[in-house]
Amino acid sequence: MNDNERRALNEALFRDVNERIAESTGRFADEKTEFVCECADPNCAERVPATLAEYESVRKNPTTFLLAPGHDEPGIERVVSDRGRFHVVEKVQAAVRQTVIRLDPRQRRAQSEP
């Protein structure tokens, strides 16, 4: 496994954590929830305040992630949206894109449905 794949795995892991946070949070789309930063650093403990609606808009695309400002890795991703409280990044490095698409929990769920 190369460094980029390892980074992608870390980010996919944080995404899974946030999926559980999103599932356990209330139904109020405008209410802010503390998500975890989905950056490549396995030791990152930053919390990212975002509403469920904001989170859902990031999750629609399997290659976009929610990060604390300044946590992006320029070699593998680019900031596509600066929302102040958080940045949205899109994976641009090919192996990283493949990995995060393969591990997308929304895709896995769609495939397991009858």
CB of 62 to Zn ion, least distance (A): 19
Contact between 85 and Zn ion by CB under 5 A: the answer reads no
Candidates 40-48, 50-58, 81-89, 105-113 — which segment interacts with Zn ion by CB under 5 A?
40-48
Q: Which is nearer to Zn ion, 3 or 109 (CB)?
A: 3
Could you tell me if 95 and 8 are in contact, meaning their C-beta atoms sit under 8 angstroms apart?
Answer: yes
Contact between 46 and Zn ion by CB under 5 A: the answer reads yes
Helix/strand/coil for 53:
helix
Chain-centroid distance of CA 98 in Å reads 14
Q: Residues with Cβ < 8 Å from 6, sequence gap 6 or more?
A: none
Give the footprint of Zn ion on this chain (CB under 5 A).
Answer: 37, 39, 44, 46, 68, 71
